[in-house]
Structure 1
Amino acid sequence: MNAAALAAVAAIVLVAVASALVGAYGVRRRSTSDFLVASRTSGTAAHAGAISGEYLSAASFLGIAGLVLKDGVDALWYPVGFTAGYLALLLFIAAPLRRSGAYTPLDFAEARLGSAQLRRVCTVFVLVVGWLYVLPQMQGAGLTIAFVTGLPQWVGVVAAGVVIAVTVAFGGLRAITLVQAFQYWLKLTALAIPAVIALMFFLGNDKTFDRPAPPSFSQATTVDVTTDVVLRTEAPLALRASGHVDGAAVDGPVTWQPGTHTVESGTRLDFDAGAPVPVVEGAPVQDAGWLTPFADGNSYGLLAVYSLIIATFLGTMGLPHVLGRFYTNPDGRAARRSAVVALGMLGAFYLLVTLLGALSRLYTPQLLVSGETDAAVLLLPTAVLGNGWAGTILGGIVAAGAWSAFLSTSSGLLSSVAGVLSTDVLRGRLRDVRISTLLAASVPILLALFVTRLDFTESVALVFAVAASTFCPMLVLGVWWRGLTARGATWGMAVGGTVALGAVSASLAGAASTGLLGTLLHRPAVVSVPLAFLTMILVSRANRRERPADADQLLLRLHAPERLGLSADAAEDGPARFRD
């Protein structure tokens, strides 16, 4: 193991140890209230830091930069949508949810509509959304370990899963709140330092993006292709290849003519300094096109963007681990303040990661060949500073930031999933919470070992589509419309969730990737979200006699200011089913 790998491993271990120490400091009592809502004693700054630390996952730390590197301006809707989702949450449901006094979205659904069947449907979708969201976190941990140490990816997957499961099982949400706030600042620092350094190098030379040419290799570069990939080039390209290219075995110099070329896994490609970079099919070849929206001429590009906006803007409202954070605020006003501060913190983070993605096109163009663009942030430090001590140290800091991204998001997700398993499957005792945590962690670990990895941000966008198609309509209508019935909410969640999950499953299975069908499979929210809202409204109107008799009273409680004393808080140690 070389010096860079040792530095990265040391930094990752330090992050794990520091997180454990911060978490141990945060554990004052060991009640169910501590485990589920942190006893609602943390301040606004701690909550905002924890919200940001929990929300900024592998998709944000690695995936956004990778998509910007590959797709250019077309990828900017991802950070915009992920940030604006908190604005929608702030405007529509943050304070009312906190005033409901519930611990989880399941409790809110049952309290608002009084249906055990609806609660069971919510339970299923909490588990599905939680596990699908943890999956790319585990895979991100594996990718980080593989790139910085050369170890197999499964080592990172298992190591991250064990650390997260132990942290959640023995720390609870009070400890996780402080850990995630600490990890946000660690992630921000891990991005800010390389961003400033890379920007200084960029401004100090004549590099530019705005040119009608593809990026080029600044030095002789070898690319090991680990998965089958189709590459496109617009000019004749001389290179050396060892493996299988365009269906034939090659071992020596080859010349690619303009067009597409298939490179099989296990092939090694050698490029000379100054050679144009071939890019994965579907991505802009020229830098000028990289700066132009829909440069590839996709007929359904605008439809895909609208669907992505719907998924990211509304999906945040349906993420159980995010919603759980607002139950831990002391009151509704504190929930709103936390969301406002979190918006600023998220904005700063996404500005940095977008900048790193743009600079990666100049310094790590080889990732456009291998398709491993998610590794851009990890490789940028040594690409800019070289393999000396400065690049090694900076690479270790970035690896530590990436590791903290996986830990913080996965901790919140597993806490939500474990809470549902312990209260709705087991008996809700403190011991059941820990058992549920271990069970909750085992599923995404196994999935990460056997499921083919998509781009991290693409995977998370699919999860957002599921959340936007299930919990978002139920919460928005439950908070703002007295006419919602349990039957309407149940059918709406079932229909929206089934359509979105069907699209997710088809995408993971490698179904159609082009045309209208491919667009809707990869971006189902434009269909599934309106369908879920419409189903809830129509079924509720058809069964208006089933509207809860106390709907007006419940809505008054959700919207009345705290000073009127109408908010309903659960007992300090939770409702009856949360006995220690």
Structure 2
Amino acid sequence: MNPAVGFAAFIAVSLATAAIGFYGLRISRTTGDFYVASRTVKPWWNASAIGGEYLSAASFLGVAGLILLSGTDALWFPVGYTAGYLMLLLFVAAPLRRSGAYTIPDFTEARLDSKAVRRVTSFVVVAVGWLYIVPQLHGAALTIRITTGLPSWLGSVAVVVVVCLTVVAGGMRSITFVQAFQYWLKLTALAVPVVFVLLALAGNGVPAVSQPGTNPTSLPAAGAYQNISLMVALLFGTLGLPHVLVRFYTNPDGRSARRTTLIVLGLLSVFYLFPTASGLVGRVFAPELARNGQADALVLLLPGRLVGGTAGELLSALVVAGAFAAFLSTTSGLVVSLAGVISQDLLGSSVRGFRLAALLAAVVPLGFAFLTDSFALAGSVGLVFAFTASTICPVLLLGIWWRGLTDAGAITGMVTGALLCGGAMVTGTVLGAASAPGWLAQPAAWTVPTAFAVMVLVSLATKNRVSPSAGRIMSRLHIPERPVATERSPR
């Protein structure tokens, strides 16, 4: 790829993101605008914004790379990412919106009437957010190096700078416009090149770049335990992602939250058709990328290899723009959610506190990204899902659906899940992917049930600590709102 093409694509998407973000600044005035867009975001806008922030580096680059490496075993990733939203629709979306909270710590404090639970939840939410931001910065570093030849660190720094500008400028309302635009850009950036690649293959026969049918790797097939554990992580982890959950607070009511989730399911299902197709084409026509450690760059390189010429360069530029949209949208969603938590707990619930918290939320993971090396993007994000499923998910599900949850049970369960899953992640990283046993490489199958069990058992042992307001809060979570006049008024 011509470096100028990649650089121009990056500049174009960054300028578009900044322009849309600053447009949002014009209508971001109140604290509610910065935290939850004053709870006025309609389902289609919100669904597009959720798709924008949820489809991260792991989805845009990592899924195709994993399919290139592992074939059909990697299809569990797009299936799990999408099915997790069905779980969200069934168990979390509407009750969480009815809670009236701004953040997940707000919800746990109100539900359990405990400042200690709030502090532990805040710590876990920030840890999850930072763990999730790091792979986005790694993806940006990979993309800038592959497409422009510039130093990798420039990609990470550029993403942090653009995100900070847009988030600090307009908060949640501004980011909603940005992320909705970025979803459709990402979908276009994957769909159009895939269509052209398939047309080129149909018209020209087999290219000379490689021999069809070449097995790209000798990786063993994943066992039943790994697949089950991965699905547990993806299904339950989606229920605890802070940057996704905070978007439901922006809906007008619980009914809108459910409608938003249904639309997201459709948007995700359409999107994942294209990285899957890219991965399958890559297994046949670009298997050498798996052997030379460039699997995650497959969608960036495929148009130039199989289409070529000016058309290939233009398609490559579109893919690069989509890749940076993925890094920017997910990182901005995470920064918004973390800024809400940090500002409320440490800096005061004000616009100024939100802006300072946003800077802190973005800069800290940048330091971690500089200190760590990128590995398989989808795999690294899968571990973050496992951590989330072992910590935030149990307290949300039990807090919404079980009146008997206590503050002691919630704290003990979250700490247990964090220690077990975090310990497994660290140990597996130290041992290396080739040496780590499966139960460490994919810990969710045992850490998630353990966290749930500890939370339930400790709550049963501390029944006297059930919040006196539990009944009232549970009623608020589960009794549907009456339709309001503004929802029936003509648009």
TM-score for the superposition, normalised by structure 2: 0.95
> Is 1:555 matched up with 2:477?
no
> Is 1:104 matched up with 2:103?
yes
Larger radius of gyration: 1
> Is 1:311 matched up with 2:233?
yes
Residue of structure 1 equivalent to 2:295: 373
**Partner-residue secondary structure (3-state), 1:562:** coil
> Is 1:527 matched up with 2:451?
no
Conserved? CA contact 1:504–1:521, under 8 Å: yes
Match of 1:481 among 374, 394, 402: 402
> 1-side partners of 2:221 and 2:294: how far apart?
24
Pairwise CA distance, 1:322: 0.5
Task: Report matched runs for 1:29-428 at 5 Å.
Answer: 29-204=28-203, 218-219=208-209, 279-282=216-219, 296=220, 301-386=223-308, 388-428=309-349
The one-letter amino acid of 2:132's match is: Y
> 2-side partners of 1:501 and 1:175: how far apart?
34
Which has the larger helix fraction?
A: 2
Task: Give CA-to-partner distance per residue, 1:474-501, whole Å, 9 cap, x none.
Answer: 0111111111001001100110111111
Residue of structure 2 equivalent to 1:230: none
Conserved? CA contact 1:452–1:508, under 8 Å: no
Residue of structure 2 equivalent to 1:248: none
The one-letter amino acid of 1:320's match is: P
Pairwise CA distance, 1:506: 2.0
> 2-side partners of 1:309 and 1:145: how far apart?
31
Task: Give CA-to-partner distance per residue, 1:142-178, whole Å, 9 cap, x none.
Answer: 1110011011111111111111122111220100001
Pairwise CA distance, 1:31: 1.9
Task: Give CA-to-partner distance per residue, 1:398-438, whole Å, 9 cap, x none.
Answer: 00000000000000001111221111122232212111111
Once superposed, what is the RMSD of the aligned Cα atoms?
A: 1.8
Residue of structure 1 equivalent to 2:487: none
**Partner-residue secondary structure (3-state), 1:318:** coil
**Partner-residue secondary structure (3-state), 2:224:** helix
The one-letter amino acid of 2:295's match is: T
Pairwise CA distance, 1:97: 0.3
**Partner-residue secondary structure (3-state), 1:453:** coil
Q: Percent identity?
A: 51
> 2-side partners of 1:321 and 1:329: how far apart?
14
CA pair 64-512 structure 1, distance change in 2 beyond 3 A: closer
Match of 2:418 among 484, 492, 497: 497
Pairwise CA distance, 1:281: 4.8
Consecutive aligned runs of 4 or more in structure 1 exceeding 3 Å deviation: 202-207, 273-281, 510-514
Conserved? CA contact 1:277–1:369, under 8 Å: no
Conserved? CA contact 2:145–2:152, under 8 Å: yes
Residue of structure 1 equivalent to 2:464: 545
Which has the larger strand fraction?
A: 1
CA pair 173-442 structure 1, distance change in 2 beyond 3 A: same
Residue of structure 2 equivalent to 1:263: none
**Partner-residue secondary structure (3-state), 1:548:** coil
Task: Give CA-to-partner distance per residue, 1:47-79, whole Å, 9 cap, x none.
Answer: 000010010000000000000111000000000
> 2-side partners of 1:281 and 1:140: how far apart?
25
Q: Which runs of 5+ in 1 are unaligned?
A: 208-216, 220-272, 283-295, 566-580
The one-letter amino acid of 2:410's match is: A
Task: Give CA-to-partner distance per residue, 1:431-459, whole Å, 9 cap, x none.
Answer: 12111111111111111112021200001
> 2-side partners of 1:276 and 1:338: how far apart?
42
Task: Give CA-to-partner distance per residue, 1:368-391, whole Å, 9 cap, x none.
Answer: 1212200000001101112x2111
> 1-side partners of 2:276 and 2:213: how far apart?
24
Residue of structure 2 equivalent to 1:24: 22
> 2-side partners of 1:324 and 1:554: how far apart?
19
The one-letter amino acid of 1:491's match is: T
The one-letter amino acid of 1:523's match is: Q
Conserved? CA contact 1:489–1:536, under 8 Å: yes
The one-letter amino acid of 1:199's match is: L
Conserved? CA contact 2:200–2:307, under 8 Å: no
Conserved? CA contact 1:134–1:444, under 8 Å: yes
> 2-side partners of 1:194 and 1:10: how far apart?
18
The one-letter amino acid of 2:275's match is: V
Conserved? CA contact 1:140–1:456, under 8 Å: yes
TM-score for the superposition, normalised by structure 1: 0.81
Match of 2:437 among 503, 518, 528: 518
